[in-house]
Amino acid sequence: MDVVSMPSEVPKNDAASLPEWRTASGFKGRLLLVDDDVSVRESLGRALGSEGYEMILAANGREAIDEFLRGYIDLVLLDLNVPVKGGWDVFERMTALNPLLPIIIITARSEQYELAATAGASALMEKPLSLPLLIGTIIKLLNEPVAKRLHRITSHRPILLSASS
């Protein structure tokens, strides 16, 4: 497990205290980044950390679930091709515990949109990643009203992100 920019006192599963904590800490949210590629994990973790997000990094599916269960997570960036416990297994476990959790599927696999839509993913982004597009989507999802999120999930319409758009 890698942790980037981890404040000393982080609220554990207490969404009510998060706005006050974020303002005091300067962080915009806690993001869990799950990717088995160490260069992607570290570079994306640094980039998003510099944007004001607290980054929690996991190299495999088991670490991802452990980190998810350890404390409050605002959004997950999930590579599908992770060892120990696959990306879709991780997705199912997290959404079973928190169906409204925004999860952005990041993948090098093509043709995953239909599966992501059926599963209820918030967004799908194929590698190579466009950092500005990803950051914009993170902001959009973190500020999305619950009613709109519910509608998007139940209508099976994840946001499709493309580096070429």
Write the CATH number for 157.
Answer: 3.40.50.2300
Task: Note the pLDDT of residue 76.
Answer: 98
* Beta carbons of 108 and 81 less than 8 angstroms apart: yes
The structure's pTM equals: 0.82
Task: Note the pLDDT of residue 24.
Answer: 55
* Beta carbons of 76 and 32 less than 8 angstroms apart: yes
Tokens of 155: 């209508």
> Which domain does 101 fall in, by range?
2-161
State the residue for tokens 């980044």. Answer: 33
The number of domains in the chain is 1
Task: Note the pLDDT of residue 158.
Answer: 83
pLDDT by residue, tens only, the chain of 165 residues: 444 444 444 444 445 545 555 555 567 899 999 999 999 999 999 999 999 999 999 999 999 999 999 988 999 999 999 999 999 999 999 999 999 999 999 988 777 788 888 888 899 998 888 999 999 999 999 998 888 888 888 887 887 766 544
- Rounded CA-CA distance 54/6 in Å is 6
**Measured distance between the N- and C-terminal CA atoms of the chain, rounded to whole angstroms:** 33
* Beta carbons of 133 and 49 less than 8 angstroms apart: no
